[in-house]
Amino acid sequence: MAETTTFTNATQILEPFRGVKRVTIEEYFTSGHRTCQGCESALVMKLMVKASGPRTIVLGSTGCMYVANTTYYTTPWVVPWMHTQLGSSGSAALGTAAGLKALMKKGKMKSESINVIAFCGDGGGADMGLGAISATLTHKEYNSLILLYDNESYANTDIQLSGMTPYGANTTFSPPGKIHRIIHKRWKKNMAGMMAAGHPECRYVATVCASYAVEMMNKVRRALTIGGPTFIHSLDPCPKGWDYDPMLSHELGELAIETGIFPLYEVEDGELRYYGKTKAIVEGRPRKPVREYLLKQGRFAHFTEEDLAYFQAKVDETWDKWEVPGVVPFKRVDASQAALTKP
Ligand SMILES: Cc1ncc(C[n+]2csc(CCOP(=O)(O)OP(=O)(O)O)c2C)c(N)n1
Ligand code: SF4
Ligand SMILES: [Mg+2]
């Protein structure tokens, strides 16, 4: 069939919700899922697709948000959705966006702007699927959003540690013992910073937390409006994996930001904007001690004062020593030392 001339590759213009009262009431992720009580990742799915609206295709890699959301013959998804293999959210996003574009260009389907969102967990996205996500973020000719929902473990298979699990956390792969108290000694990857710093064709990278729901939805809307490949990292408290009372999910999300452990920001066309309490911290508000966040979770119950001090010092470093606080982990070398390193 001949190419139509109507194809534009335009995105939907999704204006920000100006306050909670302006948020649309329609739901596209409804009843029918079986996630744990207090599961923030389920809330992220609901907010994500509420923000994107009905003309959206959702692709999801294996994990809690696949398994618990698509039990045989039930699903909460109102929009079209497809499962994709654990490490392939990037490939699924790119392939779907490219497929839609090809079909529209050939006139085989109506030319319209359809949002393509692929979500992945931290295991599927930050570990296994990192290469495919990175590749997708280099293809500016295809519009897609990759949303990483980070519950800081391979939760669906019973809480194994991932590259996004915080230092020292008790997981099924890192149970504290009598001789070795801290088994997991690696510091968490900096996904959003890595994506923003390393992908010049990606115009929009943001961090979000569902404790700040309107802000989160507006970042999803901004990413989809800007178009090309975009990336959002969401920190999602997980009552089962983090071992806390489900009623604390919202509070833990807030504490992650107030302690400076998880900064809220966006990078649009290379310009960095901090948000909410992170912005206040950057402007001088004291951060809460990390112990207020860590000691509310059973996965850190074995921490001693020494462990808490180490964790605090590492977080302090991101604010006091990083070139772009909380975002980019380079440190300036003073001029005399820099000269010594020259050939
Ligand atoms: C290639 C592959 N390896 C292992 C699995 C088993 N598996 C299914 S879900 C899952 C955990 C995924 O963790 P994450 O991406 O963080 O999502 P979460 O379960 O935490 O929501 C694993 C290991 C799989 N489905 N495919
Ligand atoms: S294990 Fe965690 S992420 Fe998975 S459904 Fe339960 S609360 Fe949600
Ligand atoms: Mg996970």
70-89 confidence digits (pLDDT tens): 887 889 999 999 999 999 99
Q: What percent of the chain has pLDDT over 70?
A: 96
Residue minimizing CA distance to atom 4 of ligand 1? 86
Residue nearest to atom 7 of ligand 1 (CA): 157
pLDDT for 334? 74
In the reported structure, the alpha carbon of residue 13 is separated from the centroid of ligand 2 by a whole-number distance in angstroms of 32
Tens-place pLDDT, residues 149-191: 999 999 999 999 999 999 999 999 999 999 999 999 999 999 9
Question: Is the Cβ atom of 157 under 6 angstroms away from ligand 1?
Answer: yes
Rounded distance, CA 325 to CA 219, Å?
A: 20
Question: pLDDT tens, 278-310?
Answer: 999 999 999 999 999 999 999 999 999 999 999
Which pLDDT score, from 0 to 100, does residue 5 have? Answer: 53
Exposure on the CB side of residue 340, measured as CA atoms within 13 A? 5
Q: Residue 120's pLDDT band (boundaries 50, 70, 90)?
A: very high
Residue closest by Cα to atom 1 of ligand 1: 86
- Which pLDDT belongs to residue 199? 97
Q: Which residue has the tokens 């975002």?
A: 327
H or E stretch covering 181: none
Whose Cα sits closest to atom 11 in ligand 1? 154
Ligand 2 nearest atom to the CA of residue 242, by list position: 2
pLDDT band at residue 338 under the 50/70/90 scheme: low
- Is the pLDDT score of 241 beyond 80? yes
For the Cβ of 241 lying below 6 angstroms from any atom of ligand 1, the answer is no
| Rounded-to-integer distance, Cα 34 and Cα 167, Å | 29
Give the pLDDT confidence of 217-235 residue by residue, as tens digits.
999 999 999 999 999 999 9
Ligand 2 centroid from CA 265, angstroms: 25
Residue 170: HSE in the Cβ half-sphere, 13 Å Cα cutoff: 18
Helix axes 213-226, 40-52, angle to 10 degrees: 50
- Please state, as a whole number, how many other Cβ atoms lie within 10 Å of the Cβ of residue 289: 16
Q: Could you give the 3-state DSSP secondary structure of residue 125?
A: helix
Taking a 5 Å cut-off on Cβ, the residues next to ion ligand 3 are 121-123, 151, 155
The overall average pLDDT reported for the chain is: 95
Query: Does the beta carbon of 155 sit less than 6 angstroms from any atom of ligand 1?
Result: yes
Q: Whose CA is nearest to atom 5 of ligand 2?
A: 35
Sign of the torsion formed by the C-alpha atoms of 70, 57, 22 and 273: positive
Give the C-alpha separation, 324 to 304, whole Å: 30
* Sequence-distant (≥ 6) Cβ neighbours of residue 4 within 8 angstroms: 104, 105, 106, 107, 111
How far is the CA of 277 from the CAs of 69, 90, 189, 259, 293, in angstroms?
32, 31, 22, 10, 15
* pLDDT value, residue 342: 53
Question: Residue 137: CB partners within 8 Å, gap ≥ 6?
Answer: 90, 146, 195, 199, 201, 202, 229, 231
**pTM score of the predicted model:** 0.96
Ligand 2 binding pocket mutation candidate from 43, 61, 238, 299 (most atoms within 8 A of CB): 238
Are 129 and 90 within 8 A, CB to CB?
yes
Evaluate if residue 341 carries a pLDDT over 80: no
In this predicted model, what pLDDT tens digit does every residue of 309-327 receive, in sequence order? 999 999 999 999 999 999 9
Mutate to test the pocket of ligand 2, among 29, 36, 45 (most ligand atoms within 8 A of CB): 36
DSSP string, 224-266: HHH-SEEEEEEE---HHHHTS-GGGHHHHHHHHHHTTSS--EE
Per-residue model confidence (pLDDT) at position 1: 46
pLDDT of res. 343 = 53
